[in-house]
Structure 1
Amino acid sequence: MSISRKRLNSEESRSAALEAARMLLLAQGPQAVTLKAVAAKVGRTHANLLHHFGSAAGLQAELARSIADRVTGSIAEAVERARVGERDVREVVDGTFDAFDREGAGALAAWMILSGNRDALNPILDSIRALVSQLRVGHEEHHVPESTLWLVLAALGDSLLGEPITSSLGLQRDAARRIATEALRSEIAARHPRMA
C-alpha cells in the first residue's frame, strides 16, 4: 500500500521516504530497505529517491541517522531525568535496548556490516559520540564512554540473539535488560555513592 501521490517539497519527500524505509525495516528486515521498495511505498519514482539519497546505501545511512538521532535524544532525556531522580536507570536501559531491537538499529547495523557497507554506520556512531559528549557535560568524573560502550554492545547483541539465547537457557526474555540495569545501578553506586 503506497502513500497517495501528492506534491511534496524536498524535505517532506525525504521525510516520507525515511518513514517508509523505517516501516519496511521493522516489518520485513533490513534487506527490504531498497530504493525500489521505498519508492513504491511512497508513490515516488526510483529516480526521485536517487535524487534525494544518491543510492540505496545513502538511503540506509540516512535511515540509520534518523533512527540514531531520535533514539539518542530520548536516551539523553531519560539519563538527565534519572540524574535528578525523576526516572529510574531501567528507562535508560530500555531506551537503549529498544533502539537496537524495536527501532531496528541492531538489524540494520549488522546488515550494513555484513554487506560491506560499514561507512553507513557512521551516522549511528556520530549520534552515540554526540550523546556521550552531551552526557559528560558537568559529569566529567563519570565513566560515560565506558558505560555507553558496554550498554550499546549488550543492546546490540540482545537485538540480534537475545530471543534464541534466553529461550535456550530457560530465561525470561528481558533477562539481558534486567542484568544491564543491575550492572548500571551497581556501577553508579560504586562510583557515586551519593547518587545511589
Structure 2
Amino acid sequence: MASRKRLSPHESRTAALEAARALLIESGPQAVTLKAVSGRIGRTHANLLHHFGSAAGLQKELARHLTETVCETIIQAVRASRAGLGQPREVVDLAFDAFDKEGAGALASWMLLTGNEDAITPIVETIHALVDEIAPEEAGNHEGIMRVHEDTLALVLMALGNALMGQALAKSLDLPLDAARNRAERMLLRSIESVSQPVPQK
C-alpha cells in the first residue's frame, strides 16, 4: 500500500479548509465537522484538533478562508470595472454567489445559531480589508470613500439576506428571482459614478 503523502502544516490546513468548503457546498454547514473533514483528506482527528482546536474553530477559519478568496476576486473585478474592462454586475454576482452558492451565508447563520458568537468576525475583518484596499484609490475624494464604505455594507447585507431568504421573498412579492441582484447592480453603478466625479475646488 502506498504511504500517505507527508504535508507541511500549511498544506495540511489548506487541504482541510478545501475539504470543509466542499462539504459545506454539498451538504450544508452542519456537515462541516472535524470527523468528516479528517475522513475526506485522510488525516487523523487529532491532526485537525491541532490545527483548529474544535469544530467551531474549523468553521471560523473556513469562514475566513471563503471570504478572503472571494474578496480577492472582487478586488480584481472592481478594478477591471473601473478600468472599463469589466461590468459592475460581475462584482455583484461574485458577492451574491459567495453567500449563496459558496455557502458563506448559511455557514455564518449556522455558527451564530449554534452559539459561536464571534462567527462573523473573520467575515467582517476580511470585508473591511477589501474596502480599505479599494477606497484608497479614491483618496482625493472623501465623499467617494464614504460612498464606497456605505455601498459595500449594503452590498454585503443584500447578498447575505438574499442567500437566506431572497428567492422565497421575491416569489411572494411577484418579483424576478434576481431582483436583489438587479438593485445591487444599480447601486454599484451609482457608486462608481460618484467616485469618478472630480473633487470640487475650494
With normalisation by structure 1, the TM-score equals 0.90
Q: CA deviation at 1:191?
A: 6.0
**Inter-partner Cα distance in structure 1 for 2:129 and 2:194:** 26
Q: Secondary structure at the match of 2:119?
A: helix
**Map of 1:128 onto structure 2:** 127
Q: CA deviation at 1:190?
A: 5.3
1:53-101 per-residue CA deviation (whole Å, 9 max, x = no partner) reads: 1111111111111101100000011111111111111111111111111
Question: Are the equivalent residues in 2 in contact too, given 1:106–1:159 (CA < 8 A)?
Answer: yes
For residue 123 of structure 1, what is the amino acid of its counterpart? P
Question: Are the equivalent residues in 2 in contact too, given 1:5–1:42 (CA < 8 A)?
Answer: no
1:79-130 per-residue CA deviation (whole Å, 9 max, x = no partner) reads: 1111111111111111111111111111111111222212132111111110
Q: Which stretch shows the higher mean deviation, 146-155 or 107-116?
A: 107-116
**Map of 1:144 onto structure 2:** 148
**Map of 1:47 onto structure 2:** 46
For residue 173 of structure 2, what is the amino acid of its counterpart? L
Q: Secondary structure at the match of 2:60?
A: helix
Q: Which stretch shows the higher mean deviation, 53-62 or 113-122?
A: 113-122
**Map of 1:9 onto structure 2:** 8
Question: Are the equivalent residues in 1 in contact too, given 2:138–2:195 (CA < 8 A)?
Answer: no
**Inter-partner Cα distance in structure 1 for 2:191 and 2:137:** 18
Q: What root-mean-square deviation, in Å, do the aligned CA atoms of Structure 1 and Structure 2 show?
A: 1.8
**Map of 1:113 onto structure 2:** 112
Structure 2 stretches of 5 or more lacking a match? none
**Inter-partner Cα distance in structure 2 for 1:188 and 1:71:** 20
**Map of 1:18 onto structure 2:** 17
**Map of 1:90 onto structure 2:** 89
**Inter-partner Cα distance in structure 2 for 1:132 and 1:99:** 16
Larger Rg: 2
For residue 164 of structure 2, what is the amino acid of its counterpart? L
Question: Are the equivalent residues in 1 in contact too, given 2:24–2:31 (CA < 8 A)?
Answer: yes
Q: CA deviation at 1:193?
A: 5.3
Runs of 4+ off more than 4 Å = 190-194
1:117-171 per-residue CA deviation (whole Å, 9 max, x = no partner) reads: 1213211111111001111112132111101010000000001101211222333
With normalisation by structure 2, the TM-score equals 0.88
Partner residue of 1:161 out of 162, 165, 169: 165
Structure 1 stretches of 5 or more lacking a match? none
**Inter-partner Cα distance in structure 1 for 2:71 and 2:195:** 24
Percentage identity across aligned positions?
Answer: 56
Aligned residue-pair number = 191
**Inter-partner Cα distance in structure 2 for 1:57 and 1:149:** 26
**Map of 1:185 onto structure 2:** 189
**Map of 1:174 onto structure 2:** 178
